[in-house]
Amino acid sequence: MDVYVDGKLVPKDEASISVFDHGLLYGDGIFEGIRAYNGRVFRLDEHLHRLYIGLKVIKLHLAHTPQELKDLVIKTLRHNGMRDAYIRLVITRGKGDLGIDPRNCKVPTVIIITDKITLYPPELYEKGLPLVTVVARRNNPEALNPKVKSLNYLNNILGRLEANAVGAGEGLMLNQDGYVAEATADNIFVVERYAGRMRLRTPPSYVGALEGITRGAIMELAPQLGYEVLETPFTRHGIWAAEEAFLTGTGAEIIPVATLDGRPVGDGAVGPVTKEIMREFKALVSREGTPIFPEEEGTLPRTAAVSGVRTHQ
Protein backbone atom coordinates (compact mmCIF):
# COMPACT_ATOMS: atom_id res chain seq x y z
CA MET A 1 0.00 0.00 0.00
CA ASP A 2 1.38 3.39 -1.02
CA VAL A 3 0.65 6.66 0.74
CA TYR A 4 0.23 10.00 -0.99
CA VAL A 5 2.44 12.56 0.73
CA ASP A 6 3.78 15.86 -0.54
CA GLY A 7 2.75 15.20 -4.12
CA LYS A 8 4.11 11.65 -4.38
CA LEU A 9 2.89 8.10 -3.84
CA VAL A 10 5.43 6.30 -1.67
CA PRO A 11 5.47 2.89 0.07
CA LYS A 12 3.83 3.23 3.49
CA ASP A 13 7.00 2.42 5.42
CA GLU A 14 8.82 5.23 3.64
CA ALA A 15 6.03 7.81 3.90
CA SER A 16 7.20 10.58 6.21
CA ILE A 17 6.92 14.25 7.05
CA SER A 18 9.30 16.72 8.65
CA VAL A 19 9.64 16.86 12.44
CA PHE A 20 9.17 20.63 11.92
CA ASP A 21 5.70 20.09 10.46
CA HIS A 22 3.23 22.16 12.50
CA GLY A 23 0.69 19.35 12.25
CA LEU A 24 3.04 17.41 14.52
CA LEU A 25 4.39 20.28 16.62
CA TYR A 26 1.07 22.02 17.31
CA GLY A 27 -1.77 19.90 15.93
CA ASP A 28 -2.18 22.66 13.35
CA GLY A 29 -4.22 21.03 10.62
CA ILE A 30 -7.50 19.43 9.58
CA PHE A 31 -8.36 15.83 8.78
CA GLU A 32 -11.12 13.61 7.46
CA GLY A 33 -11.90 9.92 7.96
CA ILE A 34 -13.74 8.58 4.92
CA ARG A 35 -14.95 5.10 3.90
CA ALA A 36 -15.09 3.32 0.56
CA TYR A 37 -17.50 0.41 0.17
CA ASN A 38 -17.30 -1.99 -2.73
CA GLY A 39 -15.60 0.43 -5.13
CA ARG A 40 -17.49 3.56 -4.10
CA VAL A 41 -16.47 6.36 -1.76
CA PHE A 42 -19.32 7.25 0.57
CA ARG A 43 -20.25 10.95 0.63
CA LEU A 44 -16.85 12.15 -0.57
CA ASP A 45 -18.20 15.60 -1.52
CA GLU A 46 -19.66 16.06 1.98
CA HIS A 47 -16.35 15.10 3.60
CA LEU A 48 -14.48 17.53 1.34
CA HIS A 49 -17.00 20.26 2.10
CA ARG A 50 -16.44 19.82 5.85
CA LEU A 51 -12.67 19.74 5.31
CA TYR A 52 -12.61 22.99 3.32
CA ILE A 53 -14.78 24.75 5.92
CA GLY A 54 -12.29 23.62 8.60
CA LEU A 55 -9.40 24.93 6.49
CA LYS A 56 -11.17 28.26 6.05
CA VAL A 57 -11.83 28.58 9.80
CA ILE A 58 -8.17 28.01 10.64
CA LYS A 59 -7.08 30.18 7.66
CA LEU A 60 -5.06 27.40 6.08
CA HIS A 61 -4.89 28.11 2.39
CA LEU A 62 -4.60 25.05 0.22
CA ALA A 63 -3.68 25.52 -3.43
CA HIS A 64 -5.70 22.40 -4.42
CA THR A 65 -9.34 22.86 -5.33
CA PRO A 66 -11.87 20.41 -3.82
CA GLN A 67 -12.06 18.73 -7.23
CA GLU A 68 -8.28 18.29 -7.35
CA LEU A 69 -8.27 16.81 -3.87
CA LYS A 70 -11.15 14.52 -4.82
CA ASP A 71 -9.19 13.35 -7.88
CA LEU A 72 -6.15 12.69 -5.68
CA VAL A 73 -8.21 10.55 -3.28
CA ILE A 74 -9.58 8.49 -6.18
CA LYS A 75 -6.13 8.27 -7.77
CA THR A 76 -4.62 6.93 -4.52
CA LEU A 77 -7.37 4.31 -4.16
CA ARG A 78 -6.97 3.25 -7.80
CA HIS A 79 -3.20 3.09 -7.45
CA ASN A 80 -3.59 0.80 -4.44
CA GLY A 81 -6.36 -1.21 -6.11
CA MET A 82 -8.62 -0.68 -3.12
CA ARG A 83 -12.39 -1.19 -3.24
CA ASP A 84 -13.05 -1.18 0.53
CA ALA A 85 -10.98 1.26 2.49
CA TYR A 86 -10.67 3.62 5.35
CA ILE A 87 -9.30 6.84 3.89
CA ARG A 88 -7.46 9.32 6.07
CA LEU A 89 -7.03 12.71 4.46
CA VAL A 90 -4.76 15.03 6.45
CA ILE A 91 -3.85 18.63 5.66
CA THR A 92 -1.33 20.27 7.95
CA ARG A 93 0.00 23.82 8.09
CA GLY A 94 3.27 22.33 6.77
CA LYS A 95 6.90 22.69 7.71
CA GLY A 96 7.87 25.76 9.74
CA ASP A 97 10.20 26.61 12.57
CA LEU A 98 9.75 26.10 16.31
CA GLY A 99 7.44 29.08 16.79
CA ILE A 100 3.68 28.57 16.57
CA ASP A 101 3.22 31.40 14.09
CA PRO A 102 1.56 29.87 11.02
CA ARG A 103 3.28 32.48 8.84
CA ASN A 104 6.45 30.37 9.19
CA CYS A 105 4.82 27.61 7.21
CA LYS A 106 4.93 28.16 3.49
CA VAL A 107 3.49 24.97 1.99
CA PRO A 108 0.72 22.84 3.53
CA THR A 109 1.36 19.10 3.79
CA VAL A 110 -1.21 16.88 2.07
CA ILE A 111 -1.39 13.24 3.17
CA ILE A 112 -3.77 10.59 1.84
CA ILE A 113 -3.68 7.18 3.53
CA THR A 114 -5.91 4.41 2.23
CA ASP A 115 -5.93 1.63 4.75
CA LYS A 116 -7.98 -1.34 5.86
CA ILE A 117 -10.83 -0.73 8.25
CA THR A 118 -10.68 -1.85 11.87
CA LEU A 119 -14.17 -2.19 13.23
CA TYR A 120 -15.65 -2.70 16.67
CA PRO A 121 -16.00 -6.43 17.43
CA PRO A 122 -19.15 -7.85 15.73
CA GLU A 123 -20.74 -8.83 19.06
CA LEU A 124 -21.01 -5.16 20.02
CA TYR A 125 -23.27 -4.62 16.98
CA GLU A 126 -25.45 -7.53 18.13
CA LYS A 127 -25.55 -6.72 21.84
CA GLY A 128 -24.78 -3.01 21.96
CA LEU A 129 -21.85 -1.30 23.59
CA PRO A 130 -21.38 -0.10 27.15
CA LEU A 131 -21.19 3.70 27.16
CA VAL A 132 -19.90 5.68 30.13
CA THR A 133 -20.12 9.37 30.88
CA VAL A 134 -16.62 10.77 31.15
CA VAL A 135 -15.55 13.64 33.39
CA ALA A 136 -13.67 15.43 30.59
CA ARG A 137 -16.08 17.93 29.06
CA ARG A 138 -16.23 18.45 25.28
CA ASN A 139 -14.21 21.43 24.05
CA ASN A 140 -15.99 24.71 24.50
CA PRO A 141 -17.05 25.90 21.01
CA GLU A 142 -15.83 29.38 21.95
CA ALA A 143 -12.31 27.96 22.39
CA LEU A 144 -12.04 25.34 19.65
CA ASN A 145 -15.27 24.54 17.88
CA PRO A 146 -15.91 20.78 17.73
CA LYS A 147 -17.37 21.39 14.24
CA VAL A 148 -13.75 21.68 13.11
CA LYS A 149 -12.21 18.24 12.68
CA SER A 150 -8.79 19.46 13.70
CA LEU A 151 -5.62 17.54 14.47
CA ASN A 152 -6.12 18.54 18.12
CA TYR A 153 -7.85 15.42 19.44
CA LEU A 154 -6.51 15.54 22.99
CA ASN A 155 -9.90 16.54 24.37
CA ASN A 156 -11.43 13.37 22.93
CA ILE A 157 -8.40 11.26 23.83
CA LEU A 158 -8.70 12.32 27.49
CA GLY A 159 -12.32 11.18 27.33
CA ARG A 160 -11.37 7.89 25.65
CA LEU A 161 -8.74 7.20 28.35
CA GLU A 162 -11.46 7.44 30.98
CA ALA A 163 -13.74 5.10 29.02
CA ASN A 164 -10.90 2.62 28.47
CA ALA A 165 -10.03 2.66 32.18
CA VAL A 166 -13.42 1.16 33.03
CA GLY A 167 -13.59 -1.16 30.01
CA ALA A 168 -16.37 0.77 28.24
CA GLY A 169 -16.82 0.80 24.46
CA GLU A 170 -17.11 4.57 24.16
CA GLY A 171 -17.16 7.65 26.38
CA LEU A 172 -20.09 10.06 26.45
CA MET A 173 -18.94 13.67 26.52
CA LEU A 174 -21.08 16.45 27.99
CA ASN A 175 -20.55 20.12 27.30
CA GLN A 176 -19.77 22.79 29.94
CA ASP A 177 -23.48 23.06 30.82
CA GLY A 178 -24.04 19.33 31.24
CA TYR A 179 -25.80 18.76 27.91
CA VAL A 180 -24.93 15.65 25.93
CA ALA A 181 -22.52 16.62 23.13
CA GLU A 182 -21.26 13.41 21.50
CA ALA A 183 -19.05 10.39 22.13
CA THR A 184 -15.26 10.67 21.82
CA ALA A 185 -15.30 9.67 18.12
CA ASP A 186 -19.00 9.26 17.32
CA ASN A 187 -22.26 11.20 17.36
CA ILE A 188 -25.22 10.07 19.46
CA PHE A 189 -28.92 9.57 18.75
CA VAL A 190 -31.70 8.52 21.10
CA VAL A 191 -34.94 6.86 20.05
CA GLU A 192 -37.87 8.07 22.12
CA ARG A 193 -41.56 7.26 22.24
CA TYR A 194 -43.79 10.26 21.70
CA ALA A 195 -47.57 10.20 21.23
CA GLY A 196 -47.49 6.49 20.48
CA ARG A 197 -44.78 6.80 17.82
CA MET A 198 -41.03 6.58 17.83
CA ARG A 199 -38.86 9.55 16.96
CA LEU A 200 -35.15 10.30 16.98
CA ARG A 201 -33.26 13.03 18.75
CA THR A 202 -29.64 14.13 18.38
CA PRO A 203 -27.81 17.08 19.93
CA PRO A 204 -27.47 20.15 17.71
CA SER A 205 -23.91 20.91 16.75
CA TYR A 206 -23.91 24.18 18.76
CA VAL A 207 -24.07 22.08 21.94
CA GLY A 208 -20.57 20.89 20.99
CA ALA A 209 -20.70 18.13 18.42
CA LEU A 210 -19.06 17.46 15.11
CA GLU A 211 -21.56 17.61 12.24
CA GLY A 212 -20.89 13.96 11.42
CA ILE A 213 -21.35 12.74 7.87
CA THR A 214 -22.98 9.56 9.20
CA ARG A 215 -25.18 11.70 11.47
CA GLY A 216 -26.22 13.72 8.41
CA ALA A 217 -27.04 10.54 6.48
CA ILE A 218 -29.25 9.29 9.35
CA MET A 219 -31.01 12.64 9.60
CA GLU A 220 -31.90 12.24 5.90
CA LEU A 221 -32.72 8.55 6.04
CA ALA A 222 -34.87 8.45 9.20
CA PRO A 223 -37.70 10.70 7.91
CA GLN A 224 -37.87 8.54 4.77
CA LEU A 225 -38.52 5.61 7.10
CA GLY A 226 -41.23 7.59 8.92
CA TYR A 227 -39.24 8.81 11.92
CA GLU A 228 -39.17 12.46 12.81
CA VAL A 229 -35.70 13.68 13.84
CA LEU A 230 -35.35 16.42 16.44
CA GLU A 231 -32.10 18.32 16.72
CA THR A 232 -32.49 19.71 20.24
CA PRO A 233 -30.32 19.64 23.37
CA PHE A 234 -30.79 16.98 26.03
CA THR A 235 -29.03 15.93 29.21
CA ARG A 236 -28.35 12.35 30.35
CA HIS A 237 -32.02 12.33 31.38
CA GLY A 238 -32.83 12.06 27.65
CA ILE A 239 -30.85 8.83 27.50
CA TRP A 240 -32.30 7.39 30.71
CA ALA A 241 -35.79 8.11 29.37
CA ALA A 242 -35.09 6.80 25.84
CA GLU A 243 -36.27 3.49 24.39
CA GLU A 244 -33.03 3.05 22.44
CA ALA A 245 -29.76 4.84 21.73
CA PHE A 246 -27.07 4.44 19.10
CA LEU A 247 -23.81 6.05 18.03
CA THR A 248 -22.88 7.02 14.49
CA GLY A 249 -19.50 7.50 12.82
CA THR A 250 -17.59 6.67 9.68
CA GLY A 251 -15.59 3.96 11.45
CA ALA A 252 -18.36 2.57 13.67
CA GLU A 253 -21.26 3.15 11.21
CA ILE A 254 -24.32 2.64 13.47
CA ILE A 255 -23.56 0.99 16.79
CA PRO A 256 -26.24 0.36 19.41
CA VAL A 257 -25.77 1.51 23.01
CA ALA A 258 -26.66 -1.22 25.53
CA THR A 259 -25.91 0.61 28.77
CA LEU A 260 -25.07 4.07 30.00
CA ASP A 261 -22.97 4.12 33.17
CA GLY A 262 -23.92 0.51 33.85
CA ARG A 263 -27.66 1.12 33.55
CA PRO A 264 -29.56 -0.46 30.62
CA VAL A 265 -30.82 1.91 27.93
CA GLY A 266 -34.44 0.91 27.26
CA ASP A 267 -34.58 -2.79 28.06
CA GLY A 268 -30.85 -3.15 27.35
CA ALA A 269 -31.35 -5.13 24.13
CA VAL A 270 -30.80 -3.70 20.63
CA GLY A 271 -34.16 -2.11 19.76
CA PRO A 272 -36.18 -2.48 16.54
CA VAL A 273 -35.68 1.12 15.37
CA THR A 274 -31.89 0.87 15.78
CA LYS A 275 -31.92 -2.45 13.90
CA GLU A 276 -33.93 -0.94 11.04
CA ILE A 277 -31.61 2.08 10.82
CA MET A 278 -28.54 -0.19 10.84
CA ARG A 279 -30.01 -2.23 7.99
CA GLU A 280 -31.03 0.79 5.94
CA PHE A 281 -27.67 2.47 6.44
CA LYS A 282 -25.94 -0.64 5.08
CA ALA A 283 -28.22 -0.50 2.05
CA LEU A 284 -27.45 3.20 1.60
CA VAL A 285 -23.66 2.81 1.61
CA SER A 286 -23.89 0.00 -0.91
CA ARG A 287 -25.98 1.93 -3.40
CA GLU A 288 -24.39 5.38 -3.49
CA GLY A 289 -20.92 6.95 -3.63
CA THR A 290 -18.23 8.23 -5.95
CA PRO A 291 -16.97 5.36 -8.15
CA ILE A 292 -13.27 4.54 -7.79
CA PHE A 293 -13.31 2.53 -11.02
CA PRO A 294 -15.84 4.38 -13.22
CA GLU A 295 -14.97 2.10 -16.14
CA GLU A 296 -16.79 -0.66 -14.24
CA GLU A 297 -20.02 1.33 -13.93
CA GLY A 298 -22.90 -0.45 -15.58
CA THR A 299 -21.10 -3.78 -15.41
CA LEU A 300 -21.23 -4.07 -11.62
CA PRO A 301 -24.43 -5.30 -10.04
CA ARG A 302 -25.50 -2.60 -7.61
CA THR A 303 -26.89 -4.00 -4.39
CA ALA A 304 -30.64 -3.52 -4.41
CA ALA A 305 -32.09 -1.11 -1.92
CA VAL A 306 -33.67 -2.91 1.02
CA SER A 307 -36.75 -0.76 1.16
CA GLY A 308 -36.70 1.23 -2.05
CA VAL A 309 -35.72 4.40 -0.21
CA ARG A 310 -34.76 7.26 -2.55
CA THR A 311 -31.09 7.40 -3.45
CA HIS A 312 -28.96 10.38 -2.53
CA GLN A 313 -27.23 11.06 -5.85
Out of 215, 244, 256, 284, name the contact with ligand PXG by CB under 6 A: 215
CB of 250 to ligand PXG, least distance (A): 3
CB of 301 to ligand PXG, least distance (A): 27
Out of 202, 214, 274, 290, name the contact with ligand PXG by CB under 6 A: 214
CB of 240 to ligand PXG, least distance (A): 22
User: Does 160 participate in binding ligand PXG (rule CB under 6 A)?
Assistant: no
User: Does 249 participate in binding ligand PXG (rule CB under 6 A)?
Assistant: yes
User: Does 213 participate in binding ligand PXG (rule CB under 6 A)?
Assistant: yes
User: Does 208 participate in binding ligand PXG (rule CB under 6 A)?
Assistant: no
Active-site residue, selected from the candidate residues 12, 127, 147, 149: 149
- The yes-or-no answer on residue 149 being catalytic is yes
The region of 5-13, 126-134, 163-171, 243-251 touching ligand PXG under the rule CB under 6 A is 243-251
Nearer residue to ligand PXG within complex by CB, 80 or 184:
184
Out of 82, 91, 185, 283, name the contact with ligand PXG by CB under 6 A: 185
Q: How many residues lie near ligand PXG (CB under 6 A)?
A: 15
The region of 51-59, 163-171, 191-199, 242-250 touching ligand PXG under the rule CB under 6 A is 242-250
CB of 119 to ligand PXG, least distance (A): 10
User: Does 205 participate in binding ligand PXG (rule CB under 6 A)?
Assistant: no
Nearer residue to ligand PXG within complex by CB, 96 or 146:
146
Q: In sequence order, what DSSP letters do the residues of 32-101 get, joined into one string? A: EEEEEETTEETTHHHHHHHHHHHHHHTT---SS-HHHHHHHHHHHHHHTT-SSEEEEEEEE--B--SS--
The catalytic residues are 149
Interface contacts to ligand PXG, rule CB under 6 A? 33, 156, 182, 185-187, 210, 212-215, 248-251
